[in-house]
Structure 1
Amino acid sequence: MRVSMKQPYLNTVYTNLILRRDYEPVQSVEPVMTRDLLFLQKYHHDTYFLVQLIDGDLLDPVTMETKLKADYQSLINVNPNQLMHMIEIMVFDGAPSPEMLAAMDRGLANAEFAKCFLSCFTVDLSSRAVMRQSKASINTDGLEKLLKGQFKEVNPEYNELPDINSLLALKRQEYTLDLKVTKPALTYALIGINIAVFVFFSFYSMMQGRQYESMLVDFGAKDNGLIIAGQYWRLISAIFLHANWLHLLVNCYSLYVVGNIVERIFGHIKYAAIYFIAGLYGNIASFIFTANPAIPSVGASGAIFGLLGALIYYGVERPKSFKKYFGYNVWLTILINIVINISIPGIDSLAHLGGLCGGFLAAYAIKVNHEKVKNRERLAMFVLVLLIAACAFYYGLMNPNVANPSI
């Protein structure tokens, strides 16, 4: 005897409407809400979407027509001036009879009054067919595609509906900004180090009777010729140096704003890894592709751009939380900085771009929530990120155009 897939299908659709499409259960409805009807709602783009999941085989044609007419009248009575769209999904074990389809057509007739609309989908489980019965061209929130996709996901053992409170808790978690730490201590420490390094070397250059800018290479600036000569540590030391007070203040402020967020999301250790890998990637990119290899470069900008890259990855792992708390602000910030980089000469744009990529890759390797990934896999990805940096650096060392005839 063939086991009906109806209840598992209904439960799967109901669950995914909550978890994937942001619907919520309707808490108080008419007595029609029984085991054969599941009721959901969502407010999106100034429209209330109301979705009913119904066992169509429990209705006869007369009841079907009466139900559709009554539901539409109830919709109008709620608020005729509010844009509302009720979508009724009738699930059948087989193809609905011609009499049933005719009853639906009669029940849906004139169901487009003012701003209230009623649509109906039929789902034939035997042939895996989904048909829209209403003629209205009103938006159905992409439900037809979702209903068809559930045929592949339905679990035959999914006969019981999951606990609603657990589903809603899981849904809320997707929109929650889960902070690993409350105080961004490392961000404050990095800002302090940057200021201390600048002040120390400023006084040191004064004591030497030389201009601060003329001693940046002595202090550890990224200098292609010296790096090729074996001073690889400059790829890191340059992160803590700044050209002048304005450069320092801009980077410290940027680090305070972006680092404050990223460190709270990823935690101290992951944040440190992202920051230094991004700075390394930024200086390697500058080392390879800079148009003026004879000009040394300094600054934490590549590392800071890497923090933006980490936020972009956070949007990949937690898209709903990212959209809620950051939205397009991250992309707008990156776009503004790109425009600034193009407009103002002397800015090492390649270091910024390299840092952005490095931060994204580092965040991808270590993850926001690593509990779902085996440590061995995370280690392999982390090693791969470092290997990419090593290969890029080796390419730069072997490229004759990178050399800087340093004096």
Structure 2
Amino acid sequence: MKVQFIKSLIKTLVGDSNFLLLKNRGDSRVFSENHNILVKEHLGSSIVVELIDGDQLSAGEITARLQYNRRFLTENKPEQGFFIFEIFIFESSPTQDRLTAINTGQFQLPGKAYLKCLSVNLTANTVERHFKVPITDLSLSKTINRLFAEGFIDLVSDNELEELVSKKEAELITKKDVPSKLPLQSKIPVVTYVLIGINILIGFLLFLFSQKSGVSYDRLLFVFGAKDNLRILSGEYWRFLTPIFLHANILHLFINCYSLFAIGVLVEKIFGSFKFAFVYLVAGITGNILSFIFSSNPGVGASGSIFGLLGALLFFGIINPALFKSHFGNNVILTILINLGYGFTNARIDNFAHIGGLIGGFLTSGVVLTSNKKHWYTNPFLYLALTILLTYSGLSYGFNNTQNKILFKINELEQLERTGNWSQTEAKAQEILRLNPSEQKLRAYTLLVLVNAQALSGNYQEAINNAEILKSIDPQIGHYLLGLLYYNTGQYDLARKELGQAKKTGVNEKVIDELLNEIESLGM
């Protein structure tokens, strides 16, 4: 049973995981019942798997074997990764002294190399990892458990193993002969240049129109399609797309155009123009959707789409890990982390758009970028389903979450305030406050309107109570309103105190001085 298990394991590791059976001194690969060594190169690292008949070794011999490999790693100190997995195979439970030898014989150099052990109990059909770090064992335990589940009943001959290894060796040599250049689908990145041109043209035209018409540039951004949650809630759904082509100022435009050139040229050449354009636009939309969900601030810029291109490179790395590592190393991941980290420290940067674009670009790349490797994680229908599901879920949540409901009701509150219907204004403001706005500026504005409506309706005590609450959020406005309310209700001492506090916070001193002088003239 043990011999057949070892042969089945070798067959699986060679056939499914691209291992090769190490040659002996006679330059031939011969199966051994007691000791077999399999090797492979993986992402620049050397992987060695030793299959050892543990029943043929004493505890001392196990210790000696592990010490030999330990000396090899220590003395050679490989510059690239060198990882050894020793699998000890037993007919039944190994003796305690053997287990102790296995457990204590493992070794690890910082980051570069390690020696780790597994043991197999054929009677119990179990495999035990004798280490916790690293987390991975290159699916060795998973492969062994699969063999147990299948019963490893396939009879494997020595000739069959030799033929399989020779075939695999020829296959791997053929793969190594393939040039390690990036697969380029487009020679000239036309779409990248067109997008940069569109961004510059729109920015120039808006700036020129602003100068000629006297309309502020910021106002034009809203008119021509900035992401504005309230307008999206009102049915202007095109605002999920148009912010991609708008920029807050010349510096913003320059940075995004430079970033688009630096990243877009490469991504378009790898993906091809049509796929590149699709990823770019969808990533921009998903970025604005996530911003719509979590941020009430207006937004413009192509950065969500640019993060989508970084997400596209990440997906390319999943299906072409060796190419990705050789050409990009950790640069793409570091670029993402640095930019996201900076975004979280700057309140003016819409990091939600960046994250949404990154996710959208990654998922959309899974839809359009095909791979010869047939794994579950390369299935385009999986990424299409995820893209549709997340987009639909995001939009559903965005249109129904509390934050956006509050924005919509704030708009209604502004309209009621303009009509002078103070009872309805008061009711709408209280309705908004019951939703507990998380943004302090929205809460402060609602309280301001509520205090004003209650005072104009003659509900001074309620207005004073709410002004006290407002004071804890916005001391400047809160103290000033309380001073006015106390003045209008004849509570001059309190009015003098609150107006004095308001003056210290920088409220219009002229108005406050006039009120204080009037209080003094009344002899109060």
TM-score by length of 2: 0.56
The match for 1:254 among 259, 270, 275 is: 259
2-structure distance, mates of 1:70, 1:33: 21
| Aligned partner of residue 40 in structure 1, secondary structure | strand
User: Are 2:218 and 1:224 equivalent residues in the alignment?
Assistant: no
Partner of 1:12: 12
After superposition, the Cα gap between the structure-2 partners of 1:164 and 1:43, relative to the gap in structure 1 and judged at 3 Å, is closer
The residue identity in structure 1 corresponding to 2:343 is N
Please identify the structure whose Cα radius of gyration is greater.
Answer: 2
User: Are 2:208 and 1:190 equivalent residues in the alignment?
Assistant: no
8 A contact 1:366–1:382 mirrored in 2: no
| Aligned partner of residue 242 in structure 1, secondary structure | coil
Q: Cα distance, 1:344 vs. partner?
A: 3.4
User: Are 2:125 and 1:128 equivalent residues in the alignment?
Assistant: yes
Question: What is the percent sequence identity of the aligned residues?
Answer: 33
Partner of 1:81: 75
2-structure distance, mates of 1:208, 1:359: 38
The match for 1:40 among 21, 34, 38 is: 38
Q: Cα distance, 1:299 vs. partner?
A: 0.7
The match for 1:383 among 385, 388, 406 is: 388
1-structure distance, mates of 2:261, 2:213: 32
Q: Cα distance, 1:240 vs. partner?
A: 0.4
**Mean Cα displacement is larger for which, 318-327 or 245-254?**
318-327
After superposition, the Cα gap between the structure-2 partners of 1:3 and 1:182, relative to the gap in structure 1 and judged at 3 Å, is same
Q: Cα distance, 1:90 vs. partner?
A: 6.1
The match for 1:336 among 334, 338, 346 is: 338
User: Are 2:400 and 1:395 equivalent residues in the alignment?
Assistant: yes
The match for 1:206 among 200, 205, 211 is: 211
Spell out, residue by residue over 1:50-101, the C-alpha distance to the aligned partner (whole angstroms, 9 max, x if none): 54446x59x9889xx99x989998998x999325987665657x45999xx9
8 A contact 1:288–1:393 mirrored in 2: yes
8 A contact 2:243–2:301 mirrored in 1: yes
2-structure distance, mates of 1:361, 1:341: 22
Long gaps (5+) in structure 2:
416-524
The match for 1:150 among 136, 144, 154 is: 144
1-structure distance, mates of 2:88, 2:12: 14
Partner of 1:287: 292
Long gaps (5+) in structure 1:
none
2-structure distance, mates of 1:47, 1:375: 30
| Aligned partner of residue 37 in structure 2, secondary structure | strand
The residue identity in structure 2 corresponding to 1:204 is F
Q: Cα distance, 1:374 vs. partner?
A: 6.8
Partner of 2:458: none
The residue identity in structure 1 corresponding to 2:371 is N
Q: Cα distance, 1:325 vs. partner?
A: 4.1
8 A contact 1:280–1:355 mirrored in 2: yes
8 A contact 2:360–2:387 mirrored in 1: no
8 A contact 1:265–1:368 mirrored in 2: no
Partner of 1:349: 351
TM-score by length of 1: 0.69
1-structure distance, mates of 2:353, 2:335: 16
8 A contact 1:396–1:402 mirrored in 2: no
Equivalenced residues, count: 384
1-structure distance, mates of 2:372, 2:386: 12
Within a 5 Å distance, the mapping from 1:252-331 to structure 2 comes to 252-292=257-297, 296-318=298-320, 321-331=323-333
The match for 2:168 among 157, 164, 168 is: 164
8 A contact 1:278–1:357 mirrored in 2: yes
After superposition, the Cα gap between the structure-2 partners of 1:308 and 1:199, relative to the gap in structure 1 and judged at 3 Å, is same
Within a 5 Å distance, the mapping from 1:41-120 to structure 2 comes to 41=39, 50-53=48-51, 56=53, 81-83=75-77, 89=87, 94=91
1-structure distance, mates of 2:57, 2:345: 69
2-structure distance, mates of 1:244, 1:306: 22
8 A contact 2:233–2:399 mirrored in 1: no
The residue identity in structure 2 corresponding to 1:12 is T
8 A contact 1:187–1:259 mirrored in 2: yes
8 A contact 1:312–1:330 mirrored in 2: yes
**Mean Cα displacement is larger for which, 199-208 or 298-307?**
199-208
| Aligned partner of residue 81 in structure 1, secondary structure | helix
The residue identity in structure 2 corresponding to 1:11 is K
2-structure distance, mates of 1:265, 1:218: 36
Higher relative contact order (CA 8 A, sep 6+): 1
| Aligned partner of residue 237 in structure 2, secondary structure | coil
> Greater share of helix residues, 1 or 2?
2
Q: Cα distance, 1:300 vs. partner?
A: 0.6
